[in-house]
Amino acid sequence: MQGKLIIISAPSGSGKTSIIKEVLKHFGNIEFSRSATTRQPRKDEKHGEDYYFMTLQAFKRSIEQDEFLEYEQVYQKQYYGTLKSELTRIWKKGNHVIFDVDVNGGLNIKKKYPDQSLGLFIMPPSLEELKRRLEIRARDDDRSINQRLNKAKTELVYAHNFDKVIVNDNLEEAVSEAIMGIDQFLKKG
Ligand code: 5GP
């Protein structure tokens, strides 16, 4: 059976991870697609839980073997990709899949499954607020924060290509908006 695909895309720091966590708590039949990446795990991240951490060599081998549904060089020297095996793993259990991917990745997935997917774009209230959140989070160094801000500027332009744009001004409201949109989409049959 093929389930549905729920794509959540947003600039880094827009709060999409928090929104996805709440969505997963709410729906028992949606599962998170763990991406593969060549970036180093952060302190609290575990292989196979947050990401499948891969060496550049292993990642390139998977590209050659056509194992990715989509992949992207998101930041310099850092690759991120969705393995086709994630989709089949989750669908086999009869569940729907939720993706946390960048804007390009989201649009690529939507192109491959136009009728089965819902694309939600999480919009930060402003670039100033995004910068503030990235700095408070203090997870990335200054260089990475700047990389993330520059990428955000280009990503915001593509928001209108998604099915729904949710402004994350207030997390609780953004979560209920996301849940409502997903609920409607899943009920559509
Ligand atoms: P982070 O390094 O902060 O975990 O993620 C950086 C960016 O990569 C985020 O915008 C995230 O959505 C994106 N990303 C994570 N996994 C994938 C993936 O499988 N494909 C694509 N295209 N982007 C991804």
* Residue written as token pair 């989709």: 87
Atom of ligand 1 nearest to the CA of 37: 16
pLDDT attached to residue 139 = 72
**Domains of the chain, each with CATH number or no CATH:** 5-187 (3.40.50.300)
At 30, phi and psi to the nearest 5? Answer: -120, 135
The pocket around ligand 1, CB under 6 angstroms, is made up of 12, 35, 39, 70, 72, 74, 80-82, 100-102, 104-105
Identify the band that residue 14 occupies on the pLDDT scale cut at 50, 70 and 90.
confident
**Distance between Cα 102 and ligand 1 center (Å):** 5
What predicted TM-score, i.e. pTM, was given to this entire model?
A: 0.91
**What are 43-82's pLDDT values in tens digits?**
899 999 999 999 999 999 999 999 999 999 987 779 999 9
Provide the 3-class DSSP secondary structure of residue 96.
strand
For the CA of 51, the nearest atom of ligand 1:
16
**Are the C-beta atoms of 166 and 121 separated by less than 8 Å?**
yes
Closest atom of ligand 1 relative to the 9 alpha carbon = 12
DSSP label at 24?
H
Question: First vs last Cα of the chain: how many Å apart?
Answer: 13
Q: What is the pLDDT of residues 111-126, one digit of tens each?
A: 999 999 999 999 988 8
